[in-house]
Structure 1
Amino acid sequence: MYRPLHDGWTLTAVSDEVDIAGIPATVPGCVHTDLLAAGLIDDPYLDDNENRLTWIGRTTWSYATSFTWHASGDGSGGDDEIDLVCDGLDTVATVVLNGAEVASTANMHRSYRFPVRHLLREGENSLQVRFGSPYSYIDERRAELGDRPGSYDEPYQFIRKMACNFGWDWGPTLVTSGIWRRIGLHSWSGARLASVRPVVTLDGRDGRVQAHVTVERAAGGRPAAPLVVTASVAGVTAEARLAPGERAAVLELSVPEPGLWWPRGYGEQPMYPLTVGLGPEAPEQDTGENRDTWTRDIGFRSLRLDRADDAFAIVVNDVPVFVKGANWIPDDCFPTRITPERLAQRLGQACEANLNLLRIWGGGLYESTEFYDRCDRLGLMVWQDFPFACAAYPEEEPFASEVEAEARDNIVRLAPHPSLVLWNGNNENVEGFADWGWREKLDGRTWGAGFYYDLLPRLVADLDPARPYWAGSPYSGAPDLPPNDPSRGTVHIWDVWNREDYLRYGEYRPRFVAEFGFQGPPAYATLRRALGDDPLTPDSPGVRHHQKAIEGNAKLLRGLGDHLPAPETFDDWHYWTQLNQARAMTFGIERFRSLAPYCMGTIMWQLNDCWPVVSWAAIDGDARRKPLWYALRRVYADRLITFQDGGVVLVNDRDAEWTGELSVTRLALTGEPLAKGAFQVTVPARGTLPVRFPATLATAGDPTSEVLTARLGEEAALRFFAEDPQVAFPEAEFDVAAEPVPGGVRVTVTARTLVRDLALFPDRLDPAAEVDDMLVTLLPGATATFLVRAPGELDPAALTRHPVLRCVNEAAR
C-alpha cells in the first residue's frame, strides 16, 4: 500500500540572514514557488526580479511535516516492511524521521527508497527534509576535484541537478531546492516487485517480450516462501517460479502478429497493457502477503540506427524515418508547475506543427512518465539525452556512483515506452573537449569520457538492449574523429546564428542535423505581460534582461542582413525579427529535407521556452505560437516543394507516390506571366525528386520585379529572385473584411497587388486570441482567409489595422 505524504508541510530558512519560518509549503514543489505563493518574493519571470533572488540558491532550507501512524488498524501498519519512497529530491537533501537521520542525497535525477519501519512511532511522527545550498555543495566538490571548463560561468557540472537551473542563453538563473516529485510511505509484506524491465522486440511478425523481474523479499525472520511471477500481454501469459532465496526471473512472451507501433505519419500507435504479478506458489496459502502487481502499456516495434557509410538514420519496423524534430527544454524552471493539461497542450502543438520527434536536451531532465505516455500515444518519437551539457564533468566519486544510479533508475523507468528511440550520452561535451580548448584547461583531469564511452553504453546494452545508444551530439561515431563533421553522424550548426547569414545553410551537406536555430522575440502579449518597460523598445531594460544570448539583440539585427530593411520602430523590429527567424529556419529545413535520403533528419532548436524570453523557440514562454511555428507546420508537411539549385526538389514523406504535372511560372510582380513550364513527375514514396528548370524559368529578366511559382496538386511554393529590400514591391493594396463567427472572427483578405508575408497578431488586442495561419504571400487576385479565435469579443475593425495586420510591403520602401 502506498500512502502519499503531501500534506501539512512548512518551509523554513535555516539561516541567520533570512527570516522565513513555518510558511505553508506545497509538496511536490520547490522553495521558489512556496515563497511566491506566500507573497515573499516577486514573480521571477517579470522584469529583472530574477536578479534579486540569487540568495535562495545560497540558503539552506528545511521542509517539515507530521503524520500519524499506527502499527495496526488503519490499513497502513502491521506490515513487514515500510519504506519511505522519494521520487525526486532537489538536490542536496538530508532526510530526518523522528529526529533520526534516514539518509543524505545529492541527485535530482533519481528516486530513493529507504526502510523506515524501525523509526516509526505509534501516533504522531515528524518528517523533515533539509536541503543544503546547491552552491555550497558545488564549492566543496570543486575544491576537492579541481575546476572543470564549461560554456557558462556557473559550475553546474559539480552537482547532479538540472543544469539550466543555473541559467542558459535562453533561461534565468533560478537555483531551486525542494521535494519536486512524490514522497510517501510504501507498506508491504513478504515480497514485492522491486523492478520490472520489459525488453520489447519483433521476431518476424510476432512480438516478443522479455520481462526481467526483480523481487525484494522482506528482511523479517519468517522463512522465505516459494513465489510465482506471472506476465501477460495481448492474451499471452508466462509464469516463473522463484524458490526461497531466489530474487530474479525472466519471463518470455510471444504475441502473434500484434499491431505495430509507428511514428506519427507512418502508421498507428496500438498499445498493449503488460501486467506482471507476484504471488504465493500455492493459492490456498494466499494470505495477502507476497502479492504485488505492475502494469504498463507497451508497443511492439523494431528499432535500429542505420550507420552505413557514416549515415545516421533512425529505422523503425525496417522503415527509415526522416526525422522532423525539435529540441525540448524543461517547459518551466519550476517543473512541478507543468500539469498534464499543459503537457497535452505543448505536445499537441508539436504534433500540429508536423513534428515526429522531440529531443530531450541534456541540460534539462529525464521527463515525467506522463510526458512519455503522451508521446507513446501521439507517435512522437523521443530522443533522450542523458543530463550532461556544455561542460566537462568530473568522473570521480561521488559522481561516478550517482551517474550510474540515476542511469539505471531512468533506463528501467523508461524502458516500456515505444516512443523512446535513442539514448544520447551528452550535449556538446565531446565537441567541447575536441574543439573548445578544454583539453588544455583540464590538464589531464577527467571530463566525462568514461561516462559517454564506457559506463552509459554498458548500462544501455545491459538494461535496454533493444534501443541504440549514441555517445553524444554532435558526434561522428568514434572518439578519434572530428565530432562536428557534417559528413558523419550528427552535426550542430551554430555558425549561422552567431556570425553567418542564414543562406550559409545552403552550403551544408549534412547526414543529420541535431541542433540548429535562429532567434526571434516572443509574442507581443508575452513581452507586455512580463515587462513594465515604458516605452517598450528593442533596447529597453526589460527586453535586454529577457535576452540572455551573448550580443543577442545585435545578432538579431545583423541576421536581417539583406533580407529585410533595418527597423525604425519597435513594431517593425518585432515583426521583422520574428519573420526573419521563420525564414531562416524555413531555408535551413528545406535545404536539409531536399538532401534526403543522404540527410535523414533535422532537429531544430527549439520547440518551447521555460519563461518569457527572446529566444530560438517556436512556442514562447506563455505558450503562444510565434510565426516560426506556422513556418514549421509548412516546412515539416508531408509534401513539400522547395526551390534548390536552379530548380525544385519535390519531397514526399508519404507511403504513396506523388504524381502529376508540376506547373512552373515566372511572373511579373503585377501577376503577368513571363514564362511557363510543365513537367510530368512521379516522386517515390518516402522519397525526393529534383527537377531542373530551363534558363527561361530559372533566370529572371529583372530580378527586382519578378517571382517564380511552382505548383503540384495542392502544394505550391514561390521564390523571389532578389532580397526584399531590392524587390520593387508595390505598396500593398488589398480588400479586407472581418466578420464575427462562433468562437471568433473570420478575416478575409483579397489582394489587388502582390502582398508579401501577410500576418495577423490578434494577441495585441486580446492576450488570449490566436490565429490559425500566418505569413501568407498573395499574388494579385488571390484570397486568404484567417480564423481568429478568442474567448471574448474582438473588435473586427481592429483586426484589419496596423500593427495587428502586417505585411512586408505595407508601404513602398
Structure 2
Amino acid sequence: MYHPLDSGWTLTLLRGDRPEHCAAVDGGIPATVPGVVHTDLMAAGLLGDPFIGDQEAELAWIGLSDWRYRSEFTWTPSADDSRADLVVGGLDTVATVRVNGQVVLETANQHRSHRVDLAGVLRGGRNDIEVDFRSPVEWAREREAVLGARPHAYVHPFNAIRKSACNFGWDWGPDFATSGVWRPVGIEEWSGVRIASIRPVVDLVDGVPHVDVHVDLEWQDDDTREEVPVVVSVAGAVAHSTARRDHPLVVSLDVPGAEPWWPRGYGDANLYELVVTVDGGGEDHTRSSRSIGFRSVDVDLAPDQDGSPFTVRVNGRDVYVHGANWIPDDVFVTRITPESLAESIADATDAGVNLLRVWGGGLYESDDFYDICDREGVLVWQDFLLACAAYSEDAELWDEFEAEAREAVTRLTSHPSLIIWNGGNENIWGYVDWKWRPRLGGRTWGEGYYTDLFPRIVAELAPTTFYSEGSPFSFSRYAHPNDAAHGTMHIWDVWNARDYDAYRTHRPRFVSEFGYQGPPAFSTLESVVRDEPRSAFGAEMLAHQKADQGNVKLERGLGSHLPEPRDYDDWHWTMQLNQARAVAFGIEWFRSLFPLNRGWIMWQLNDCWPVVSWAAVDGHRHRKPLWYELRRVSAPRLLTVQPSLAGEGLRVVLHNDADEAAAGTLELRRETLDGTVLETSSVDLVVDARSAGSVAVDPLLATPENPAKEVLVARSSTGERALWFFADDTALDLDLALDARARAVPGGYEVAVTAREVTKDITLLVDRVDASARVDSSMVTLFAGEEHVFRVTAPEGLDPEAFVGDRVLRSANDLVVRARTAAA
C-alpha cells in the first residue's frame, strides 16, 4: 500500500542572501510537493511572475541558496510486520533526506529515483521528514573545481552536476536554477515479494509479435520463501513461470493475436495491456500492468554511392521522418501536467510531425509523455542527458550516469514509440570542431559514455531499439561528425551566419537539428515586455532574447527577402514571417532531395516561457506562423519548385509520403501578379507510394519577361500547389489588393478575404484582438479572384471588424507597400 507524503510541507531558507521582502522564508512558508522553491515563493506571494521584465539577476539568489523542505506525518505500523520503504520519485538536485533526524538518503542527481528501507527509523505516531538542498549553482562550481574545468556552453558549469542543463539558462531559456522535491514522495508498505520493475522487450520475429518480459523482484528478507509463481499475459497469450531468489526471470511469449504498432501515417498504433502477477497478484506490489506495442526497429546506415544514409525503418518499412525537437514544456517542470503534455503533443501531430526528439539538455520526461506518444503513434528519439559540453569520466560522474541511464532505459523500454537512444547533443561535434582539446589538456571529455557505457546499457536493456553515439554523427571514425553525406547533421550556419537561401548549399542525408528564430505572438510578448517605447532592442525585450546577438541575426537574416521594418509592429510581423518562410524553405529543399534525404527534425516545437526563439508554438501556446507552414510542408504529399540539381533551370518535385500512388496531371503556368496567363504546359505525373518524382520546367515557363511582375504556378490535379517567384519580395511589384469582411458566427468569428491580385502570406494575428483567440489557418497566398475564409475561435462580444484591422490582418504585401511608400 502506498501512502503519499504530499501535504503539510514547509519551505525554509537555510543559507542565502535573500531580499528583505522574502524574510518570511527564514521561519518557513507553506510548500507544495511535488514542487520547487520558485513556485512555492510565488504561491506565498513573495515572488511575482518571474517571466515579466528582466528579473534573472535579482532572482539569482534562489539558485545560490540552501533550502529545507519539511513535513510531519502520522504512521501506524502494520500488524503483519510489513516493510515500509520511503519512495522518492526525484529530488532537484543535491539533497540530504532525514526521517526523524536520521539521514536516510543523500543524492546529487535530478534524474534518479530512490527507495529506502525505513526499518528502525519510522515510529508509531508522529514522524517528521526533512529534505535539505544545497545550492545547485554553488555545488556545480565546487565539483568543477574538484573534477577539473571542462568546456561547456553558457555561464554555469552544468556539466559538473547531474541536473537538467537548460535549467541554468540556454539560448532560449532563463537562468532560474531550481531546487525542490520535483517528483512524488511517499511510503510504500509491502511484505513477502514485490515487483521492482518490469521490462518488456518487444519485437516482430518472422512477422509474429513477440515479447521477452524481464521481471525484477525484491524479497522482503531472508525468511521469505525462495520461489514464487509468476503469470504474464498480453493480448490473449498467457505464460506461467516461477521466480527464484537471486535468479533473473525472463518470461517469453509469442503473441499471434496482436497487431503491430505503427507510427503515424503508416498504420494503427495498436497497444495491448501487459499484466504481470506474482504470487497471485493480490496486492499492489505483486501486480503490475502497462500498455505495450509490438514493433521492430532498424536504421539503415549501409554505405552507398552518396555516402551513408540514416533511414529509420519500423516493422521493415522505411519511414520518412517529419520531426521536431522537444524541450521541457515549462521552466518550472512541476507545473507540467498530463493535460498540458497532451496539448503540446497535439501541436506536433496536428502539424504532421511523426517524431519528437527529446533533447539532451532537458529531462527524461514523465511516463505521461511517452504514453501519449504511444497512443498517437509519435516516434520518440531519446537523448541521454548530455549537451554542448565535455563531461568528466571520473567515478563520481560515471557512476551517476550509469545509474540514471539504467533506470531510464528500464523505465522507458516498454514504450513502443521510443525507437532511438542517442548518446548526447553536439558533444562529439564539439570535441572535433569547438577547440576543446587544448582546453582539456588530456582530461576525459565524455567519449567513454558515448562509445562504451551507453551502448552497453542499451544493448543489455533495450536491444530492439537503435543506438546512436551522438547528434550529429556520421557513424564512422574517419568522417567528420557533421558531414552532410553521412548519418545525421545539424545545420546552424543558416541562422548564425547565413541567409536561409544557404539551405540549398547542403545535401543532408538526415537533419536532426536546424531552425530559425522568430518572436512569439504579440500578446505573449506584451505579457512580459514593457519597454517604453517598445523596441526590438529594449532592455526587457533583450531579456527575452537569449541567443547571442539574436535580434541582430533576425534583422540580418531578412537579406533581400523582406524590407526593413518601419516600426515595432512591423518588426514583430516581419520576423514571424521570415521565420516561417525560412524553416519551410529548408524543409521543402530537404524533401526535394528524397530519396537522398530521409528526414528532418526541426528546432524546436515548443517553448518553456515567453521568449523570442526557434519554437513553432510559443510559451502561451499560440501557434506561430511557423507552425502553419510546418503543417503545410509536412503534408503527406508536397509539391515544390526547386532549382535543377544539374545547376540550371527549374524542376517541380512531388514528394509522395503516402501509401497511395499519386497520379494526375501537372499544370504549369507563368502568369502576372494580376492573373494574366503568359505561358502554360501540362504533363502527366505518376509518383509511386512513398516515393518522389520530378519534372523539368520548360525554359519558356522558367524564364520571366519581367521578374518583378510574374510568378510560376504548378498545380497538380491531385490538389497540391507550388509557387516560384522570380524575385524576392523587396523586388516584386506587390500591392495592397485585398478585400476583407468579418462576422460573428457560433463559437467565434469568420473573416473572408478576397484578393484582386497576388497577395502573399495572409495571416490574422488574432491574439492582438484577444489573447485567448486562435485561428485555424495562416500564411495563405491568394491569386486574383481567390477567396479564403479564416475561422477564429474567440470570446463572444468582440467587434468583428477588429479582426480586419491593419495590425491584425497582415501579409507580405503590406510590408512591401509600407516600405515603398516610406522610401518615396
Question: 3-state DSSP class of the match of 2:203?
Answer: strand
Deviations 1:391-442, CA, capped at 9 Å, x for gaps: 0011102111100000000101000101101000000000000010001110
Give the alignment partner of residue 722 of structure 1, picking from 722, 727, 736. 727
2:32 counterpart letter in structure 1: T
Aligned to 2:783: 779
1:156 counterpart letter in structure 2: F
- Rounded to whole Å, the distance in 2 between the matches of 1:576 and 1:320 is 38
Instruction: Give the 3 Å change call, closer, same or farther, for CA 291–566 of structure 1 in structure 2.
Output: closer
Gapped runs of 5+ residues in structure 1?
281-285
Moved more, 133-142 or 460-469: 133-142
Give the alignment partner of residue 388 of structure 1, picking from 383, 386, 389. 386
* 1:797 Cα offset (Å): 0.9
Give the alignment partner of residue 289 of structure 2, picking from 283, 295, 302. 295
Gapped runs of 5+ residues in structure 2?
644-649
Is the Cα–Cα contact under 8 Å of residues 205 and 257 in structure 1 kept in the other structure?
Answer: no
Question: 3-state DSSP class of the match of 2:8?
Answer: coil
Moved more, 396-405 or 528-537: 528-537
- Structure 1 length as normaliser, TM-score? 0.97
Is the Cα–Cα contact under 8 Å of residues 578 and 626 in structure 1 kept in the other structure?
Answer: yes
Give the alignment partner of residue 39 of structure 2, picking from 33, 39, 49. 33
Note the 1:594-609 alignment, pairs <5 A. 594-609=592-607
Aligned to 2:614: 616
Deviations 1:213-238, CA, capped at 9 Å, x for gaps: 11110125x25242011110011111
Moved more, 424-433 or 7-16: 7-16
* 1:277 Cα offset (Å): 0.8
- Rounded to whole Å, the distance in 1 between the matches of 2:150 and 2:33 is 34
Aligned to 1:406: 404
Aligned to 2:169: 167
* 1:192 Cα offset (Å): 0.7
Give the alignment partner of residue 191 of structure 1, picking from 165, 190, 193. 193
- Rounded to whole Å, the distance in 1 between the matches of 2:284 and 2:801 is 70
1:303 counterpart letter in structure 2: V
Question: 3-state DSSP class of the match of 2:627?
Answer: helix
- Rounded to whole Å, the distance in 1 between the matches of 2:215 and 2:801 is 65
Deviations 1:262-321, CA, capped at 9 Å, x for gaps: 1111111110000111006xxxxx9x6896011010001111111112110110011110
1:160 counterpart letter in structure 2: R
- Rounded to whole Å, the distance in 1 between the matches of 2:391 and 2:356 is 25
Note the 1:140-159 alignment, pairs <5 A. 140-159=142-161
Aligned to 1:689: 693
Is the Cα–Cα contact under 8 Å of residues 425 and 471 in structure 2 kept in the other structure?
Answer: yes
- Rounded to whole Å, the distance in 2 between the matches of 1:459 and 1:743 is 52
2:664 counterpart letter in structure 1: G
- Rounded to whole Å, the distance in 1 between the matches of 2:100 and 2:714 is 75
Is the Cα–Cα contact under 8 Å of residues 325 and 601 in structure 1 kept in the other structure?
Answer: yes
Instruction: Give the 3 Å change call, closer, same or farther, for CA 552–289 of structure 1 in structure 2.
Output: closer
1:267 counterpart letter in structure 2: G
Question: 3-state DSSP class of the match of 1:224?
Answer: coil
Is the Cα–Cα contact under 8 Å of residues 273 and 298 in structure 1 kept in the other structure?
Answer: yes
Deviations 1:587-621, CA, capped at 9 Å, x for gaps: 10000011112111110000011011000100011
1:473 counterpart letter in structure 2: S
* 1:117 Cα offset (Å): 2.5
- Rounded to whole Å, the distance in 2 between the matches of 1:54 and 1:164 is 15
Aligned to 2:641: 643
* 1:507 Cα offset (Å): 1.2
1:262 lines up with 2:262 in the alignment: yes
Deviations 1:175-228, CA, capped at 9 Å, x for gaps: 0000001111111101111111110001122110100111110125x2524201
Aligned length, in residue pairs: 800
1:3 lines up with 2:7 in the alignment: no
Note the 1:15-54 alignment, pairs <5 A. 15=15, 17-18=17-18, 19=23, 20=25, 21-54=27-60
- Rounded to whole Å, the distance in 2 between the matches of 1:225 and 1:493 is 57
Is the Cα–Cα contact under 8 Å of residues 79 and 187 in structure 1 kept in the other structure?
Answer: no
Aligned to 1:227: 228
- Rounded to whole Å, the distance in 2 between the matches of 1:291 and 1:801 is 62
- Rounded to whole Å, the distance in 1 between the matches of 2:99 and 2:509 is 55
Question: How much identity, in percent, do the aligned residues show?
Answer: 51
Aligned to 1:80: 82
Aligned to 1:283: none
Question: 3-state DSSP class of the match of 1:704?
Answer: helix
Question: 3-state DSSP class of the match of 2:200?
Answer: strand
Is the Cα–Cα contact under 8 Å of residues 205 and 256 in structure 1 kept in the other structure?
Answer: no
- Rounded to whole Å, the distance in 1 between the matches of 2:674 and 2:65 is 67
- Rounded to whole Å, the distance in 1 between the matches of 2:352 and 2:553 is 29
1:333 lines up with 2:340 in the alignment: no
* 1:16 Cα offset (Å): 6.3
Moved more, 451-460 or 63-72: 63-72
Deviations 1:343-401, CA, capped at 9 Å, x for gaps: 11111111111100110000000001000000000111110000000000111021111
Is the Cα–Cα contact under 8 Å of residues 674 and 756 in structure 2 kept in the other structure?
Answer: no
1:345 counterpart letter in structure 2: E
* 1:739 Cα offset (Å): 1.2
Instruction: Give the 3 Å change call, closer, same or farther, for CA 25–290 of structure 1 in structure 2.
Output: closer
Is the Cα–Cα contact under 8 Å of residues 279 and 290 in structure 1 kept in the other structure?
Answer: no
* 1:104 Cα offset (Å): 0.5
Instruction: Give the 3 Å change call, closer, same or farther, for CA 561–306 of structure 1 in structure 2.
Output: same
Deviations 1:465-491, CA, capped at 9 Å, x for gaps: 000100000111034431110000100
Is the Cα–Cα contact under 8 Å of residues 137 and 156 in structure 2 kept in the other structure?
Answer: no
Question: 3-state DSSP class of the match of 1:365?
Answer: coil
- Rounded to whole Å, the distance in 1 between the matches of 2:808 and 2:476 is 52
- Rounded to whole Å, the distance in 1 between the matches of 2:208 and 2:453 is 32
* 1:533 Cα offset (Å): 2.0
Aligned to 1:274: 274
Is the Cα–Cα contact under 8 Å of residues 423 and 450 in structure 2 kept in the other structure?
Answer: yes
- Rounded to whole Å, the distance in 2 between the matches of 1:246 and 1:37 is 48
* 1:660 Cα offset (Å): 0.2
Is the Cα–Cα contact under 8 Å of residues 29 and 179 in structure 1 kept in the other structure?
Answer: yes
Aligned to 2:709: 705
Deviations 1:494-514, CA, capped at 9 Å, x for gaps: 001011110100111111000
Question: 3-state DSSP class of the match of 1:211?
Answer: strand
1:665 lines up with 2:669 in the alignment: yes
1:653 counterpart letter in structure 2: D
1:458 lines up with 2:452 in the alignment: no
Deviations 1:681-718, CA, capped at 9 Å, x for gaps: 10110111111111011111111110011111211121
- Rounded to whole Å, the distance in 2 between the matches of 1:135 and 1:541 is 25
* 1:247 Cα offset (Å): 4.1
Note the 1:84-99 alignment, pairs <5 A. 84-99=86-101
1:807 lines up with 2:811 in the alignment: yes
Is the Cα–Cα contact under 8 Å of residues 109 and 400 in structure 2 kept in the other structure?
Answer: yes
Deviations 1:311-345, CA, capped at 9 Å, x for gaps: 10110011110100010000111111111111111
- Rounded to whole Å, the distance in 2 between the matches of 1:446 and 1:490 is 24
- Rounded to whole Å, the distance in 2 between the matches of 1:104 and 1:479 is 40
- Structure 2 length as normaliser, TM-score? 0.96
Is the Cα–Cα contact under 8 Å of residues 190 and 289 in structure 1 kept in the other structure?
Answer: no
1:671 counterpart letter in structure 2: G
Deviations 1:638-691, CA, capped at 9 Å, x for gaps: 111111120211011110100000011000111000000101010110111111
* 1:627 Cα offset (Å): 0.4
Instruction: Give the 3 Å change call, closer, same or farther, for CA 117–289 of structure 1 in structure 2.
Output: farther
- Rounded to whole Å, the distance in 2 between the matches of 1:357 and 1:438 is 32
1:597 counterpart letter in structure 2: P
Is the Cα–Cα contact under 8 Å of residues 652 and 694 in structure 2 kept in the other structure?
Answer: yes
Is the Cα–Cα contact under 8 Å of residues 772 and 794 in structure 2 kept in the other structure?
Answer: yes
Is the Cα–Cα contact under 8 Å of residues 189 and 290 in structure 1 kept in the other structure?
Answer: no
Deviations 1:235-266, CA, capped at 9 Å, x for gaps: 111111134x3442110110115211111111
